[in-house]
Amino acid sequence: AQSVTQLGSHVSVSEGALVLLRCNYSSSVPPYLFWYVQYPNQGLQLLLKYTSAATLVKGINGFEAEFKKSETSFHLTKPSAHMSDAAEYFCAVTERGGNNRLAFGKGNQVVVIP
């Protein structure tokens, strides 16, 4: 069964600084990987997804993530944090050839400090 680890429930970042959210997965088969963001009072919105094409995936709002098979990682980055990036971020995995269910990490609540 697949699983996802996100460390650090709360992450503080200064406005203009690098945003780095770590995600490590375990999966018995090649995975599909996703990052979702949840803004207050809204549903989860897809930021980006990895589906075995390019290992560096670009998403919305300036975010990107790199799939590293050797490290079983899919870390999310953004070069310069903006106040509007304050939200909760979730990494998720689903198994290629398996069912469609998403397995989520615990999430990172990002606080942007002016």
Partner 1 sequence: EAGVTQFPSHSVIEKGQTVTLRCDPISGHDNLYWYRRVMGKEIKFLLHFVKESKQDESGMPNNRFLAERTGGTYSTLKVQPAELEDSGVYFCASSRAAGGYTDTQYFGPGTRLTVL
Give the per-residue contact string, 45-84, with partner 1 (x = CB under 8 A; - = no): xx--x-x---------------------------------
Beta strand spans in the chain (E): 3-5, 10-14, 19-21, 24-26, 31-38, 44-50, 56-58, 64-68, 73-78, 87-95, 103-104, 108-113
Give the per-residue contact string, 23-52, with partner 1 (x = CB under 8 A; - = no): ---------x---x----xxxxxx--x-x-
The answer to whether residue 101 forms part of the interface with partner 1 (CB under 8 A) is yes
- For partner 1, the closer CB: 6 or 19: 6
Q: Using CA atoms, how far apart are residues 34 and 92, in angstroms rounded to an integer?
A: 5
The one-letter amino acid code at 109 reads Q
Q: Which residues contact 114 (CB under 8 A, 6 or more apart)?
A: 15, 83
The answer to whether residue 105 forms part of the interface with partner 1 (CB under 8 A) is yes
Which residue from 35, 63, 67, 90 is in contact with partner 1, where contact means CB under 8 A?
90
Judged by the rule CB under 8 A, the positions of this chain that interact with partner 1 are: 4, 32, 36, 41-46, 49, 51, 90, 94-107
